[in-house]
């Protein structure tokens, strides 16, 4: 291929309201018979810096307002910025200058530069940005293209091109039947959801599919090329702007009309409209005569507070797309005794700002606390205990919402109940939550529940029992006994709630099949205590229902049941564990629960939903909330719709005191964290073999007023915030608390 040096001026006519793109999750050329072209050989011709942003560049056309190419301050993003309009009907016309000619085969007659553009809003500049080095916050490996607008202070997303192209995946397209040197005029219009393109004053606009602007990785250049046989390289960008009329002021940024609204699990359904301005809900009621920059027609859809995932391991934050796609707008992290930090927690939280898809709640991990003071055994020294309490106290002051335990993991399994009570008192002083992965979910399930209740009672602390289950044959059928204990505790004035994921399998390491005593000195145990070790491993396997319920998902024998591995190796499962897997040998799915127990727990009025994600090989990480809503609520009728709203948002908002922060309700003055879904179609699709399949039915997900899922399409945005427990005033129980509000 030969080089083309092109100069482009884009002129877009954006009409309003023009939002709600209907994009496919696949990247298609839209040009039959054309395939992508190798672009090697093209090189950078433009180098720009952040300082050059918004500085004009001369060009031979009149009326230029702004033209630029700029890096985004990291190692490669380049943005084509178009500007000058200040309103909703901005007209932009593009000129493309090409030098040289393509000797490649015919171009297929496709004549378009295509943008997945949309609503422009009240902005002065718009840019197309490509960031192939995936260095943007939360980006996880693939480049993306986005359309943004500049309001004089910040860049806001408009309708967004679909992201997640591979870093070198070509975009397209600008093409005529024959590419020639000289100026070409290009005009884009957006009408409704469709983008039309004109080139060289052609009479009939082409409805076009997709546009992508790609950057030569690492060189700061910018090029656009077509879907097969043409590649162009732009060294300059100019634009010609027809000033738009003064934009019509809108009543709201977003207006949600015609939905079936549940302001909380205690209210609804109401057929009301919701107006959003900035981050906040600003009106609810009959708003049919109001205007907005984005209208969301929620006809036939349910509108509820954004789902709160009460139990996750999304500790490092980020876009958290798997949660967003489930309708989750807030995640609770730092669970099961593990958290990334126990000191400088506030600094860590600060570092997450601007990188988050959903809102973020952090807990302090008890095992992490122990590690931080060098405690591994049963009894802390006075100094160790005081230091743990000080760390925890400071973390709570920095915004952590409580402490979590992982009492089957190192080294929490060595802790005494007294140690936990003493730490929980610190949590209670801040009105936080004691969230516990209990000491047993199997043989000693009831004793473990009693311990959790006792800790909450003696410390005066609210309790969250994590991923409640009856794990293994020794616990099967005990769900009712568990609930009886929890009911009694709550009736006595304690505050105990729990979360559950809607599956009959768990996932964790294979190490839990080894006795703790052997892990202290594995080599010695294998050599000198082999028979004892075999007996204990066999018992641990049986405690989880047997080797034919243990599906290995990583390590040497991934995607095989432990029983099948044993058969194929001609060994007993315990010998496979000792000789062929060993400590650190991977993870497994444990099909260790009965559906009857799951369904006994689920409707309980103290139980909320938590995914325990992310776990790469368990569908709960991608599908917990849609599965709960579709399979259990709609199809099985496990609870009413309002109860389901309680379980997917309101209970968690109460437990983590989010109502004090104006979150968790659809009410004026509250943050616009909203999930809109189709109750008739919502369902999970992920399986244990394909755990990443995204669910169906989630139509809009709004986090702090930003629409991240827009009519089913993901728009990368990082509007999530780190929430912080700031009040040191212990609050009354959830029921009392609720009554204070209503």
Least Å from the CB of residue 467 to Zn ion: 6
Q: Which residues contact 600 (CB under 8 A, 6 or more apart)?
A: 479, 480, 483
| For Zn ion, the closer CB: 604 or 620 | 620
| For Zn ion, the closer CB: 336 or 452 | 336
Is residue 455 involved in binding Zn ion (CB under 5 A)?
no
Is residue 507 involved in binding Zn ion (CB under 5 A)?
no
In angstroms, the first-to-last Cα distance of the chain is 69
Least Å from the CB of residue 312 to Zn ion: 7
Least Å from the CB of residue 591 to Zn ion: 17
Least Å from the CB of residue 358 to Zn ion: 17
Cβ atoms of residues 365 and 728 within 8 Å? no
Structure tokens given for 274? 């919701």
Other beta carbons less than 10 A from residue 179's beta carbon:
22
* Size of the residue set binding Zn ion (CB under 5 A): 4
Binding mask 409-448 for Zn ion (x = CB under 5 A): ----------------------------x-----------
Binding mask 563-602 for Zn ion (x = CB under 5 A): ----------------------------------------
CA–CA gap between residue 673 and residue 330 (Å, rounded): 8
Least Å from the CB of residue 619 to Zn ion: 15
Cβ atoms of residues 710 and 238 within 8 Å? no
Cβ atoms of residues 359 and 721 within 8 Å? yes
Name the nearest CA neighbour of 34 among 236, 260, 226. 226
Counting Cα atoms < 13 Å in the Cβ hemisphere of 506 gives 21
| For Zn ion, the closer CB: 84 or 621 | 621
Least Å from the CB of residue 313 to Zn ion: 6
Footprint of Zn ion on 673-732 (CB under 5 A) = none
CA–CA gap between residue 328 and residue 674 (Å, rounded): 9
Binding mask 156-195 for Zn ion (x = CB under 5 A): ----------------------------------------
CA–CA gap between residue 167 and residue 169 (Å, rounded): 6
Is residue 335 involved in binding Zn ion (CB under 5 A)?
yes
Least Å from the CB of residue 409 to Zn ion: 8
Least Å from the CB of residue 469 to Zn ion: 10
| For Zn ion, the closer CB: 13 or 320 | 320
CA–CA gap between residue 475 and residue 56 (Å, rounded): 71
Q: What are phi and psi of 389, to 5 degrees?
A: -65, -40
CA 409 remoteness from chain centre: 27
| For Zn ion, the closer CB: 189 or 335 | 335
Is residue 612 involved in binding Zn ion (CB under 5 A)?
yes
Question: Which residues is 485 bridged to in the sheet?
Answer: none
Cβ atoms of residues 95 and 8 within 8 Å? yes
Is residue 367 involved in binding Zn ion (CB under 5 A)?
no
Name the nearest CA neighbour of 664 among 682, 646, 642. 646
| For Zn ion, the closer CB: 400 or 698 | 400
Least Å from the CB of residue 405 to Zn ion: 9
Name the nearest CA neighbour of 307 among 625, 634, 632, 720. 625
CA–CA gap between residue 317 and residue 360 (Å, rounded): 7
| For Zn ion, the closer CB: 437 or 457 | 437
CA–CA gap between residue 105 and residue 298 (Å, rounded): 47
Sign of CA dihedral 258, 263, 269, 271: negative
| For Zn ion, the closer CB: 279 or 612 | 612
| For Zn ion, the closer CB: 224 or 336 | 336
Of 336, 424, 438, 533, the one binding Zn ion (CB under 5 A) is 336
CA–CA gap between residue 543 and residue 471 (Å, rounded): 8
Binding mask 290-329 for Zn ion (x = CB under 5 A): ----------------------------------------
Scanning 336-344, 415-423, 479-487, 702-710 for contacts with Zn ion by CB under 5 A, the matching segment is: 336-344
| For Zn ion, the closer CB: 118 or 335 | 335
Opening angle at CA 543, ends 541 and 547, nearest 5: 30
Scanning 3-11, 263-271, 450-458, 609-617 for contacts with Zn ion by CB under 5 A, the matching segment is: 609-617
| For Zn ion, the closer CB: 370 or 437 | 437
Interface residue list for Zn ion (CB under 5 A): 335-336, 437, 612
């Amino acid at each position: 291929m030969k080089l083309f040096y092109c100069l482009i001026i884009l002129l877009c006519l954006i009409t309003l309201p023009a939002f709600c793109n209907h994009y496919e999750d696949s990247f298609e050329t839209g040009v039959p018979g054309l395939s992508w072209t190798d672009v090697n050989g093209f090189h950078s011709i433009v180098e720009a810096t952040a300082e050059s942003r918004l500085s004009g560049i001369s060009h031979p056309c009149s009326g230029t307002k702004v033209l630029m190419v700029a890096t985004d301050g990291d190692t490669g993003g380049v943005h084509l910025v178009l500007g000058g309009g200040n309103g909703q009907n901005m007209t932009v016309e593009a000129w493309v200058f090409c030098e040289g000619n393509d000797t490649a085969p015919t171009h297929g007659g496709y004549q378009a530069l295509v943008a997945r553009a949309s609503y422009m809003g009240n902005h002065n500049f718009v840019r197309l940005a490509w960031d192939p080095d995936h260095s943007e916050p939360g980006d996880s490996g693939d480049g993306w293209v986005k359309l943004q607008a500049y309001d004089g202070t910040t860049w806001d997303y408009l309708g967004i091109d679909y992201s997640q192209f591979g870093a070198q995946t070509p975009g397209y397209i600008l093409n005529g039947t024959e590419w020639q040197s000289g100026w070409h005029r290009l005009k884009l219009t957006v009408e409704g959801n469709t983008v039309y393109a004109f080139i060289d004053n052609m009479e009939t606009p082409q409805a076009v599919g997709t546009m992508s602007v790609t950057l030569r990785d690492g060189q700061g250049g910018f090029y656009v090329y077509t879907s097969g046989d043409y590649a162009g390289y732009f060294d300059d960008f100019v634009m010609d702007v027809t000033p738009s009329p003064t934009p019509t002021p809108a009543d709201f940024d977003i207006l949600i009309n015609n939905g079936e609204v549940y302001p909380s699990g205690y209210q609804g359904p109401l057929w009301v409209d919701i107006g959003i301005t900035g981050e906040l809900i600003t009106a609810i009621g009959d708003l049919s005569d109001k205007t907005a920059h984005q209208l969301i027609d929620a006809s036939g859809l349910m509108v509820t507070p954004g789902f709160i995932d009460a139990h996750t391991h999304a500790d490092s934050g980020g876009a958290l797309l798997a949660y967003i796609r489930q309708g989750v707008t807030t995640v609770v992290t730092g669970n099961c005794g593990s958290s990334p930090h126990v000191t400088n927690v506030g600094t860590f939280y600060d570092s997450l700002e601007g990188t988050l898809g959903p809102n973020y709640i952090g807990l302090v991990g008890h095992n992490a606390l122990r590690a931080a003071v060098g405690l591994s055994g049963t009894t802390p020294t006075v100094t160790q205990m005081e230091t743990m309490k000080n760390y925890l106290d400071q973390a709570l002051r920095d915004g952590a919402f409580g402490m979590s335990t992982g009492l089957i993991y190192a080294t929490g399994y060595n802790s005494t109940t007294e140690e936990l009570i003493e730490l929980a008192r610190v949590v209670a002083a801040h009105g936080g939550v004691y969230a516990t992965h209990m000491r047993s979910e199997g043989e000693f399930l009831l004793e473990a529940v009693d311990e959790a209740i006792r800790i909450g009672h003696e410390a005066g602390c609210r309790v969250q029992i994590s991923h409640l289950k009856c794990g293994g044959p020794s616990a099967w059928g005990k769900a009712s006994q568990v609930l009886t204990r929890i009911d009694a505790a709550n009736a006595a004035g304690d505050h105990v709630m729990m979360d559950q994921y809607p599956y009959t399998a768990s996932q964790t390491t294979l190490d839990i099949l080894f006795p703790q005593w052997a892990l202290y000195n594995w080599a010695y145990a294998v050599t000198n205590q082999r028979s004892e070790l075999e007996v204990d491993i066999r018992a641990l396997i049986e405690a989880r229902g047997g080797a034919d319920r243990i599906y290995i998902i990583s390590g040497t024998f991934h995607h095989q049941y432990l029983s099948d591995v044993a058969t194929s190796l001609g060994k007993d499962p315990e010998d496979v564990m000792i000789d062929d897997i060993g400590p650190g040998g991977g993870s497994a799915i444990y099909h260790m629960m009965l559906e009857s127990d799951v369904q006994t727990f689920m409707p309980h009025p103290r139980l909320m939903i938590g995914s325990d994600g992310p776990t790469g090989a368990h569908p709960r990480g991608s599908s917990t909330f849609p599965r709960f809503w579709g399979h259990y609520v709609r199809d099985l009728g496990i609870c009413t719709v309002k109860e389901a709203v309680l379980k997917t948002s309101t209970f968690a908002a109460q437990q983590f005191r989010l109502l004090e922060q104006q979150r968790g309700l659809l009410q004026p003055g509250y943050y616009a964290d909203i999930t809109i879904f189709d109750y008739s179609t919502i369902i999970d699709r992920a399986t244990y073999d394909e755990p990443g399949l995204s669910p169906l039915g989630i139509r809009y997900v709004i986090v702090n007023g930003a629409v991240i899922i827009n009519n089913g399409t993901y728009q990368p945005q990082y509007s999530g915030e780190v929430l912080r427990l700031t009040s040191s005033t212990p609050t009354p129980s959830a029921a009392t608390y609720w009554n204070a509000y209503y």
